[in-house]
Amino acid sequence: MGLISRAGASAALVVTIGGALLGCGGSSVADADGPDPTRRAAPVPPNPFCAAAQANLEAIRPLNGLVAQGQVPRDQLTNTVAAVRRAGQDMVFAAPDDIRSDVELTVQALDMQLDVLVENGGDQSALSRDTDLVNRLNSPEFTGAGERVRAYVERNCTAGATSTRR
């Protein structure tokens, strides 16, 4: 979980969203009770928010790898951070109304961390040294938002959840 988890417990919010999405695949136990695979069911359109949350996770992974290397070339850091920011905005745009404000706060938490990373050349230890950032991310406002988004993702974007729920 690298990048986000080092800034404090609530900072893991965005990565936790993605972590919950890792369960989106099937499992042999769950699939054994599933419908007959020889029957073709109508395709279910993916939930746009779940797809955006998955894309956000996929954008964060390369950033975690980059900052784990230590010295990050400025252009590589800038391009990777831009991709993460775009993925976060896509999550906000795709968020259902009932969790949109929580998604906005969660993405804001990520953006604050990205700002610190960019200012410090990708030095992930700067995240935990920035006490204002850590305090803000650990505030009830941000932790509550992250918990609600994570719960939504677990209910609606993981294996067994209906992909059309909103």
- Give per-residue pLDDT as tens, 129-151: 999 999 999 999 999 999 999 99
Contacts of 140 (CB under 8 A, 6+ apart): none
Question: Following DSSP, what letter does each residue of 93-123 receive, concatenated?
Answer: HH--GGGHHHHHHHHHHHHHHHHHHHHTTT-
Apex CA 124: angle with CA 92 and CA 136, to 5°? Answer: 55
- Give per-residue pLDDT as tens, 72-81: 788 889 999 9
- Residue 117's Cβ-count burial label (10 Å; 0-12, 13-18, 19+) is buried
Residue 44 has pLDDT above 70, yes or no: no
Say how far apart CA 45 and CA 119 lie, in whole Å: 40
Claim: this prediction has a pTM higher than 0.75:
no
Q: Work out the average pLDDT over 94-108.
A: 96
Token digits for 79? 């391009």
- The alpha-helical segments, DSSP class H, found in the chain are 2-5, 13-21, 28-32, 48-68, 74-94, 100-119, 125-129, 131-137, 140-156
